[in-house]
């Protein structure tokens, strides 16, 4: 029988998964809860930060474990997790994914970086870091990312028995997707094995960020009544690059014939066109992609008749340098 390594004042060991919709964090939470409750004999709960569940939008999943005879009473989100798993590292750029952690917290991150580089990328103040290249592993095993990350979470937890999670994975997939079980178990085991662990020194390089609900900019004192929004076109402030799942389009101007097909297919209006003078006539030309809004769907890659758009790995493209500024 396993025992919880630590408990908070309410008796819980708490896990927070930081992800984007579509990567299976919610299912990972369910698998964790089932492993802990049904197979290891803890009591507990699992739930997610639901909004409108679109692929690519930030989502959190929460898992709580306590002793079997302890009542689960708290229904609010996990704010001071013992373990955090970051499914998509670029989330760091738009959200405080490590908020509420302390020097005992274990952090799992899906990254192709080395552990020290990942530490700096995440600006992790202390604790223990577990790096796993889940994207690579899950692509190789042709499975969703979540089971690979579960492997690393299992390793990082130090108390969730591997067999219990393997059982829960098989049970969850087993009924309807039996043929997916072996590959997922392999991915899970690779996730468990192929982690790089780093004890992050509490060297003051980055500050710990205590949990805090950020107060809204608009409230009852200043918001236009009725919920009306007067700041038009304001979603232009959003950075959607964290929605990409590894691949992005790369534009090759020399091959482009300005046929406008990419413009007609891009759901995120990323192609930037400019007016130029050509042979004494004014015409529009395609100047490339605004990567701030590109979600990496690759519709444009498939549609381009002139090989002017290629799919590349995110890590191979300097999006900061190549990104175009939209003209509205």
Q: Which 279-308 positions form the footprint of another protein (CB under 8 A)?
A: 283-284, 286, 290, 292-293, 295-299, 301-303
* Element at 91 (helix H, strand E): none
For the segment 54-93, give every residue that binds another protein (CB under 8 A): 54-57, 69, 71-77, 79
Per CB under 6 A, does 297 bind ligand SF4? Answer: yes
Return the sign of the alpha-carbon dihedral for residues 250, 252, 255, 257: positive
Minimum Å gap between C-beta 147 and ligand SF4 is 24
Tell which one of 238, 257, 283, 315 touches ligand SF4 (CB under 6 A). Answer: 257
Ramachandran quadrant class, 24 (left: phi over 0; alpha: psi -120 to 50; beta: rest) = left
Among 68, 114, 306, 315, binds ligand SF4 (CB under 6 A): 306
**Which residues between 107 and 136 bind ligand SF4 (CB under 6 A)?**
none
Closest approach, Cβ 57 to ligand SF4, in A, equals 9
Q: 145 with 24: CB under 8 angstroms?
A: yes
The secondary structure of residue 135, as a DSSP letter, is: H
Map the footprint of another protein across residues 122-141, applying CB under 8 A: none
- Nearest approach, Cβ of residue 242 and ligand SF4 (Å): 13
- CB count in 10 Å sphere of residue 140: 14
Q: Which does 153 bind (CB under 5 to 8 A by kind): ligand SF4, another protein, none?
A: none
* 189: number of Cβ within 10 Å: 18
Could you say whether residue 21 binds ligand SF4 (CB under 6 A)? no
Q: Is there binding between residue 272 and ligand SF4 (CB under 6 A)?
A: no
Report the greatest alpha carbon distance in the chain. 82
Note the Cα 165 to chain centre separation in Å. 21
């Amino acid at each position: 029988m396993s025992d919880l390594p630590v408990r908070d004042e309410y008796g819980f060991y708490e896990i927070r998964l930081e992800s984007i919709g579509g990567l299976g964090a919610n299912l990972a939470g369910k698998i964790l809860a089932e492993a802990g409750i049904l197979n290891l004999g803890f009591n507990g709960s699992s739930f997610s930060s639901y909004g409108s569940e679109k692929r690519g939008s930030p989502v959190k999943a929460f898992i709580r474990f306590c002793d079997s005879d302890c009542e689960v009473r708290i229904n609010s989100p996990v704010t001071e997790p013992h373990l955090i798993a970051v499914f998509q590292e670029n989330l760091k750029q738009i959200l405080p994914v490590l908020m509420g952690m302390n020097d005992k917290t274990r952090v799992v991150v899906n990254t192709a970086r080395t552990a020290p580089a990942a530490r700096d990328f995440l600006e992790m103040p202390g604790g223990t870091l577990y790096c796993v290249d889940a994207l690579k592993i899950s692509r190789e095993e042709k499975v969703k990312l979540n089971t690979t990350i579960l492997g690393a979470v299992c390793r990082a937890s130090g108390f969730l028995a591997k067999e219990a999670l393997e059982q829960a994975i098989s049970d969850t997939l087993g009924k309807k997707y039996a043929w997916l079980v072996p590959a997922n178990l392999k991915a899970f085991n690779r996730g468990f094995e192929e982690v790089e662990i780093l004890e992050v020194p509490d060297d003051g390089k980055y500050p710990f960020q205590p949990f805090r609900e950020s107060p809204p900019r608009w409230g009852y004192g200043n918001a236009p009544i009725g919920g009306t929004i007067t700041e038009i076109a304001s979603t232009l402030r959003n950075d959607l690059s964290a929605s990409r799942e590894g691949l992005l389009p790369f534009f090759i101007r020399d091959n482009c014939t300005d046929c406008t097909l990419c413009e007609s297919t891009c759901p995120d209006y990323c192609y930037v066109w400019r007016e130029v003078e050509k042979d004494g006539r004014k015409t529009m030309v395609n100047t490339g992609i605004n990567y701030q809004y590109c979600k990496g769907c690759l519709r444009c890659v498939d549609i381009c008749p002139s090989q002017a758009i290629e799919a590349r790995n995110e890590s191979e493209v300097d999006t900061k340098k190549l990104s175009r500024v939209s003209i509205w």
